[in-house]
Every structure is written in structure tokens, then in C-alpha cells.
A and B are shown apart, each in its own frame.
Chain A
């Protein structure tokens, strides 16, 4: 547990230990980044974490963390030292059995990672995106027409969830029945990366039916020809992976491919509703749609955190970490680090977002990023073409998840352009 170099302070609440330092040399910051208080307003605490030092120690969960851009990027780009194979949540797979069979890509290290990654790279390549664009565009226009006709909507359920649900499961090749399991499954998987708090416990307690449905859909006979799922099984025919591995790689898409884009699109709508200048700029130039989505991913960071585990003793940011140390990376804090970004708290679709870590960076950088961007772009350009104003009309309610940042409800009125 927490140890201090100056051992004179008795067992006082850690909040009182201003200036305390862990034996590793990292300053102690007593905050819980997996609490509802934090989810409601992470930015103030992100700032405290960044200012405390390049690496900090969080006594609440006995873990080191990095919140500055430079260190987050350094950890992401050194997979030999900061591995994923012991889990990218708080739980260390070397000590604790994973709650589900380990991911063959997200929770894998080189060289094994390269093999499965190459398969998904091809399945979700730029060339494949070209074949989806028109269909996604048409779906976005249809949905926006229907929403404008209604006027008053919940931008979360009716838009941010409805749109990906109307394109993604079909693109994977899923059957119609049972798709209501997809969002609960993703929600629980992302909660499970967190510490053993109530959110995680509840997720695991309610997991069984969702897990069963998802695993069933990953089998070849349940995936329609022409979709991403079938393409993964074909990669097994070609010998790139084994037939046993294919279903687990399909599972990666079902875990990571839906709730992330829901929260990405939700973030973009929430930004555009709050920043009238940005909305005006997008209306004036719908060509900004893709950049407006990307900036929303930087600004809100729908995937807030991931962990790594050290494979050897290492010095980083002046702290000395032992082998087997978990390190929590605050992607959202890095994306607003004033050391890296001018006016980080301003949502500005015209800024250069190159290098943001909302999709991660390095070998595990999101393999579905092009699909995420395609969905975001076509939705925002449909809105820019058809909607005159987006006005928030009621209480905005946050959704609590250990990894994902997003909203439960966003009541808005859309007026026709």
C-alpha cells in the first residue's frame, strides 16, 4: 500500500498528505478517477494530476498514473516495457484470471499482436471504408431527416446510439435478433477495465446473458457473407490466424466497435450544441465535418483511460517503477495538456489535432479509427446540411462508466436548415 519517504505522518486520511511521495518517487495524489464525482467533472482533477508531476501515485487503487501528454505518449510507444498482455485494465492477468478469455489483439503483445493486428488492419482498411461510405452517408441522411421532422429528440438514444446501431451491426454481418445485447455488453466490458468498484461488480454480475449472446454471434454460421465478421473467418481459411482464433477477433469488434462510436458521436453533438461558433463554422463549410468529429474525440476523449503493466523495472518521469507495476494512462488528460495544446479547453474544429491520443497511439492505436471517423463524418455532414440549430432543452445527464465518457441523455431541439 502507500508508503512515504518521510515516515513521520501517522495514519491520517491521504487527502491530508499534501506533498507526500511514494517510494517510487512519484507524488501521491489522493483522487478516485473511477468515482461519480470524477465522472461529473474530470477536468479539474486531470489538471491536478498533470500538475502534481510527470508520474503520480494513486493510493486509492495503489497504482501509478501518467496524465501529461509526453508521458502518456511515451508509455504508448514503448510496448516492450509497458505491455498489454497482462491486461489493459487494473486487473493483472499474471495474478488474477481475466473475467473473459483474453483479447487476442487488445490484450496481446508483440510478436503475437502483429499477427492478429494485420488481419483486422485489412478488414478495416481505407480501401474497405471506401466501399461503405455511400451506404453510411445514405443512412445518416435518412436518420437526420426523420429527426428534424420530430424536432425534439434525445440526442443520445435517438441519434448517437441510433446511427451506429443502424450501420455497424450490418457492416459486421450480425443477424437482427438480439442486437439489444450489444450496448450492454460493451458497457460491461469497458466497466470491467476499471478497479473493483461497484460499477465493475454490477457489470460482472449482470454479464452472463450478454456474454452468451455475443459469443454465439462470433461463430461463422451466424455471420452474413460480405461483412467484417465473415472477412475475419476468411482470414482463418487463408491461414493468417487459426479457426479457433477467428471468433475471438470478431468479439473484439463487437466489444470495441459500437459504444465507442456512440460516445464519439454523442461527444460531437454535445460540443456543437455548446460551441455556437463551431456549429456556425461547420454550417458554413460542411467539409469541416471530419475535423469536427476528430476534435470532439480529442476534446471529450470518449475512451478516457487504459492501463499497461511494466515488464521490467523502469525509470519514467523521475519515478522508479518495479517490474509488474500497473500504469494508468489518462488519455483525456493528455488530450488537454496545455504543454501540448493551445487553449486545450476550447473545442475548435479548425485546429490541427494531429497527435492526439483519443484513439491511442503506437502499435495498439485503434484499428477501427477509420470506421469511427467515417461514421462521425457522415453524421456531422448530414447535420450540417439539414439542421439550422441544435439547442439543448433540458437537463444533460451523464452516463457513468469506468472507461467510457459519454452521456445518458441529451435533450435537444433540432430546427430545419
Chain B
């Protein structure tokens, strides 16, 4: 299973194994990670699963959809060029070692 590293705003790191084919959001919330709220349950409707993808990885993810782009405009924390919705990133073998940072707030 790919391992994804989540870094909290205070610097604390957590490595989570996320099954291939499930989203980072699902992997994180099912393992009790605080900091991803995911109010809409992964339906790409709420922008409360916002993460910043580590720069080194940003170019290696599938591009943003139009919907994801519009939702990120309304994210509670600052939007950065590396902002993504974690419910829209599906774990694959290629993403083993991916590092994402959590924003200071989701709502």
C-alpha cells in the first residue's frame, strides 16, 4: 500500500498507508487523522478536505478539474498553487511517499 505523509501546521508528521484506489481523504479520515474534515464525504462539494501538496510532488499529480478549481477558491485557508482537495487524489503505487501539508483550518 502506498504510504502518504501528512504534516500538520505545527510540524507533526504522520505516515498513513492508503489503499490503492481510495482517496487520500478516505485514507486519512478512516484512520482518525484530525485536520481533514470532509463534510461532503468526498463528493467534491465542500472544500473541507484541502491539502497543500509538497512542491516536489505537485507536478506528478493528475491536473485539477474545473470543479475542484472552483471549490478551492472558497477554501477556508489560503489557497496556494499547490492546493488540492484530498478527496480528489486517489492513491496509486506511483504516489508512494507523497507528502501533503494540512492547512491551519478547513471551515
Contacts and interface: CB of A to CB of B under 8 A. Distances in A.
A290 B74 CA distance: 17
A365 B45 contact: yes
A362 interface: yes
Contacts of B75: 126
Contact of A373 (B39, B47, B73): B39
Interface in A87-144: 118, 121-122, 125-130
Contact of A352 (B29, B46, B67, B71): B29
A377 B76 CA distance: 15
A122 B76 CA distance: 16
A354 B41 contact: yes
- Give the secondary structure class of A's interface: helix
A355 interface: yes
Contacts of A365: 40-41, 43, 45
A48 to B, nearest CB: 27
Given A290-B107, A369-B40, A369-B45, A122 B70 contact: yes
Contacts of A122: 70
A290 B76 CA distance: 14
A126 B71 contact: yes
A70 to B, nearest CB: 14
Contacts of B76: 126
Interface in B32-89: 32, 38-41, 43, 45-47, 67, 70-71, 73-76
A127 B29 contact: no
Given A130-B74, A354-B38, A370 B46 contact: yes
Nearest to A365: B43
Interface in A362-386: 362, 365, 367, 369-370, 373, 377
Interface in A333-376: 352, 354-356, 359, 361-362, 365, 367, 369-370, 373
B73 A126 contact: yes
Given A121-B67, A354-B38, A361-B41, A369 B46 contact: yes
Contacts of A127: 70, 73-74
Q: Which of B40, B67, B76 has the largest count of A CB atoms less than 10 A from its CB?
A: B40
Contacts of B40: 359, 365, 369
B70 A125 contact: yes
Given A126-B75, A352-B29, A354-B38, A121 B70 contact: yes
A294 interface: yes
Contact of A354 (B29, B73, B74): B29
B65 to A, nearest CB: 12
A367 B107 CA distance: 17
B46 to A, nearest CB: 6
A126 B41 contact: no
A121 B73 CA distance: 13
B23 to A, nearest CB: 12
A362 B41 CA distance: 9
A280 to B, nearest CB: 21
Nearest to B41: A355
Contacts of A129: 74
A40 to B, nearest CB: 30
A126, A356, A359: residue with the most chain B Cβ atoms closer than 10 Å:
A126
Interface of A: 118, 121-122, 125-130, 290, 294, 352, 354-356, 359, 361-362, 365, 367, 369-370, 373, 377
25 contacts: A121-B67, A122-B70, A125-B73, A126-B46, A126-B47, A126-B71, A126-B74, A126-B76, A127-B70, A128-B74, A130-B74, A290-B107, A294-B39, A352-B29, A352-B32, A354-B38, A354-B41, A356-B41, A359-B40, A361-B43, A362-B43, A365-B43, A365-B45, A373-B39, A377-B107
Please provide the 3 A-B residue pairs with the shortest distance between their CB atoms, ordered closest to farther: A126-B74, A127-B74, A126-B47
